[in-house]
Structure 1
Amino acid sequence: MTTVIAPRSTVAFRLSRDQIQRVIDPEGGQVSDLLAFNAPDVRAAISNERTFDYEKTIQLTTGNPVAFNIFMNVPVGPDGQIKVLAPPTAPGDFIRLRALDDLIIGLMACSADDSCGGSFKPIHYQIER
């Protein structure tokens, strides 16, 4: 079953260990923000926004949470400067993610102008067993 996330909207759901979440960009050019919590201990989480806001880095180092914005296009220059560009995804592009633990997932059809090339589109997702 495919679930549609309306443009600039968010959903939350549980994902059990070993389930696979497929995130689909149905029209192309749309970012999906992912927030994941370990269901038994919600202190363990990933959040791209919090990594940028609190840590002021995109580097994965000890003590910095893993960050992930699906389909986002952010090249890093040799001087460490970043550019936020429109996603290069084509209609129907997808990614599959397998849960290694029981999770609580927040998934958004991103609402940031820069990351989505100035247009806002839906995101689809499916849960595979």
Structure 2
Amino acid sequence: MQRIPPQTGVGLRLRTGDRLVVVDPTGGQVSDLFCVAGDGGDDWLSNGRTIDYGNTMYFSTGDTLYSNLSRPMLTIEQDTCGKHDFLLTPCSQATFDLLYPEFGGAPHPSCFDNLCAALGPLGVEPGTISTTFNIFMNVWFEADGTMHIDPPISGAGDRFVVRAEMDLLVGVTACSAEKSNGGECKPIDVEVIPESPATE
């Protein structure tokens, strides 16, 4: 298990059939996930396609996450929390400039910058990074559409496990936005479990 320190991210390669395990070791911490095809295709993770095909905004065990080209990318195999977001983009410097006036425009770590740093060496351009699957993020809406972001309901040790349906380049963060994490940014643990080789 690899620990992602608070307000940082990592880039990973998954082969078809590999499992990615994301664990909230202390509880109450969001992890942004974004991926693109690792086989040279033009696929990137698409919340729009996934919402269309799933007919829901909320995804958990058994659901599939699709690419912009309608190819399955990830299947959720285990989810001990059950509350995630697939509507919001990763926090960026602009997020803090516009929505966090208390920081006074000062530089702030962000999931977008961390994904760029993690995926850049794998050949992923910043302009490719769009809406992330925000593991453990607690977003809900009132009847009039007003949005709320409450602290995650994940507890220490909650797990989210996905299986790669194609070769993938994946970025995972320990989210940098204090308000999304109950006021304190904490670490995230990740592990890649290779697909078991076929037995004769």
Which residue does 1:6 correspond to in 2?
5
State the TM-score, normalizing by the size of structure 2.
Answer: 0.54
Task: Supply the AA of the counterpart residue of 2:37.
Answer: N
Secondary structure of 2:89 counterpart: helix
1:66 shift after superposition: 7.0
Q: State percent identity of aligned pairs.
A: 38
Task: Within 5 Å, give how 1:89-128 maps onto structure 2.
Answer: 89-128=154-193
Which residue does 2:89 correspond to in 1?
49
Structure 2 gap ranges (5+)? 47-87, 91-129, 195-200
State the TM-score, normalizing by the size of structure 1.
Answer: 0.81
Q: Could you say which structure has the larger radius of gyration? A: 2
**Relative CO higher for 1 or 2, CA cutoff 8 Å, sep ≥ 6?**
1
Of stretches 102-111 and 73-82 in structure 1, the one that deviates more from structure 2 is: 73-82
1:28 shift after superposition: 0.1
1:5 shift after superposition: 0.2
Task: Supply the AA of the counterpart residue of 2:150.
Answer: L
Q: Provide the rounded CA distance (Å) in 2 between the counterparts of 1:117 and 1:42.
A: 38
Which residue does 1:53 correspond to in 2?
none
Task: Supply the AA of the counterpart residue of 2:165.
Answer: L
Structure 1 gap ranges (5+)? 51-64
Task: Supply the AA of the counterpart residue of 2:21.
Answer: R
Task: Supply the AA of the counterpart residue of 1:34.
Answer: L
Alpha-carbon spacing, 1:75–1:3, altered in 2? closer, same or farther (3 Å): same
The Cα RMSD (Å) is: 2.0
Q: Provide the rounded CA distance (Å) in 2 between the counterparts of 1:66 and 1:118.
A: 23
More strand by share: 1
Secondary structure of 1:75 counterpart: strand
Say if 2:152 and 2:180, in contact at 8 Å, map to a contact too: yes
Task: Supply the AA of the counterpart residue of 2:39.
Answer: P
More helix by share: 2
